[in-house]
Homo-oligomer: A and B are copies of this chain.
């Protein structure tokens, strides 16, 4: 941490800053420039907040040097982390994992038809929502536990793994009973109570970036899960809020190489939510894999026009087949292959 003093800061104000640093058990280093004096902290700044110093008199600005998420950082764990599913599918490392399925589980028939169709294209992880966070209270809210049971049964029949969203701490146990990976959605990325309980549930976690959250905040949210004893976390870029209205969100493609630098957790891309329009999904899926993503999360529906949610962004099984083929060949260019 570097503390920049104001132009006219007094010696007493500087002394108060140094004394506060000392009270935290850290060392300091004062550098007097021509226009500003700056103070460097020596020691691990991570447990301390910027605001602890910003409130002191004579302090102009506080600059963090270390990324605050330690366990999630590549500094701490240099080697790529790999998440293994019970059926042998792997996320991270040399494989690029495609996870696909319907936005919401609507019925046994719809789920089975979709799952068989995606499995036919080699997809080994089935996604599908049983608990749905919906913007409007009047929208379809999901089948709940019944949906979980359908996911498990369908996946077992097809030797697939299941990833599905959990939206409330009290549902974590039941979701963990049925799923192989717990998804924390963008709207709950900073729902820290949920992160703590999910972190302790013993199942891998797929953590989506919040619509208005920075990459650093995403890693700090992952840190909540890691700090509660779970090292199997993947982070997912699913589009952020920007001023552009042609698409539902703006996929932050830069985030892929940035995350690969900062963390060794697997990085997943969700082109369906990031664009909101099925015709744009294949291009963005290809881009994600080309940028180095370890996995793709794709919405597929046998008849998108009949979907109870997110039909506009769902691929048909045939479109999924083309995407899987193209991203497989792009993965090959990068020395990886589709799992």
A residues with a Cβ closer than 8 A to B are: 2, 4, 7, 16, 20, 29, 31-36, 38, 40-44, 46-47, 49-52, 54-57, 61, 63, 65-66, 68-69, 75, 133-139, 167-170, 187-188, 190-194, 210-217, 220, 223-224, 227-228, 239-247, 250-258, 260-261, 274-275, 277-280, 283-284, 286-292, 304-305, 307, 309-314, 326, 329-330, 333-334
- Whole-angstrom distance between the Cβ of A251 and the nearest chain B Cβ: 5
A141 to chain B: closest residue by CB: B192
Given A33-B40, A290-B330, also A250-B257 (CB < 8 A): no
Given A65-B36, A75-B35, A169-B168, also A212-B211 (CB < 8 A): yes
Q: Which residues of B contact A212 (CB under 8 A)?
A: 210-213, 240-241, 243
- Of all A-B residue pairs in the complex, the 7 with the closest CB atoms, nearest first, are A212-B212, A55-B311, A54-B312, A290-B290, A187-B190, A257-B283, A287-B287
Q: Which residues of B contact A326 (CB under 8 A)?
A: 333-334
Partner of A138, one of B47, B210, B279: B47
CA separation between A13 and B281, bound complex, in Å?
A: 22
Contact A242 B242 (CB under 8 A): yes
Contact A137 B169 (CB under 8 A): no
- Whole-angstrom distance between the Cβ of A119 and the nearest chain B Cβ: 23
The quantity of this chain's copies bound in the complex is 4
Contact A254 B274 (CB under 8 A): yes
Partner of A247, one of B31, B241, B258: B258
Contact B192 A167 (CB under 8 A): yes
Q: Which residues of B contact A192 (CB under 8 A)?
A: 133-134, 137, 167, 187
Q: Which residues of B contact A239 (CB under 8 A)?
A: 254
Q: Which residues of B contact A290 (CB under 8 A)?
A: 283, 286-287, 289-291, 330
A74 to chain B: closest residue by CB: B7
Most B CB atoms within 10 A — which of A169, A260, A309, A314? Answer: A169
Q: Which residues of B contact A283 (CB under 8 A)?
A: 256-257, 260, 290-292
Q: Which residues of B contact A258 (CB under 8 A)?
A: 246-247, 280
A189 to chain B: closest residue by CB: B187
Contact B220 A137 (CB under 8 A): yes
Given A41-B33, A224-B137, also A287-B214 (CB < 8 A): no
Contact B214 A245 (CB under 8 A): yes
A193 to chain B: closest residue by CB: B168
Partner of A254, one of B54, B284, B311: B284
Contact B243 A254 (CB under 8 A): no
A250 to chain B: closest residue by CB: B252
Report 29 cross-chain contacts, Cβ distance below 8 Å, ordered by A residue: A2-B38, A2-B63, A4-B65, A31-B42, A46-B136, A47-B138, A49-B309, A51-B312, A52-B311, A54-B277, A61-B65, A133-B190, A135-B217, A136-B220, A137-B227, A138-B227, A167-B191, A168-B169, A210-B212, A211-B213, A214-B243, A215-B246, A240-B242, A240-B243, A243-B243, A244-B254, A256-B287, A258-B280, A326-B334
Q: Which residues of B contact A251 (CB under 8 A)?
A: 253-254
Contact A253 B287 (CB under 8 A): yes
Q: Which residues of B contact A286 (CB under 8 A)?
A: 290-291, 334
Q: Which residues of B contact A243 (CB under 8 A)?
A: 212, 214, 240-243
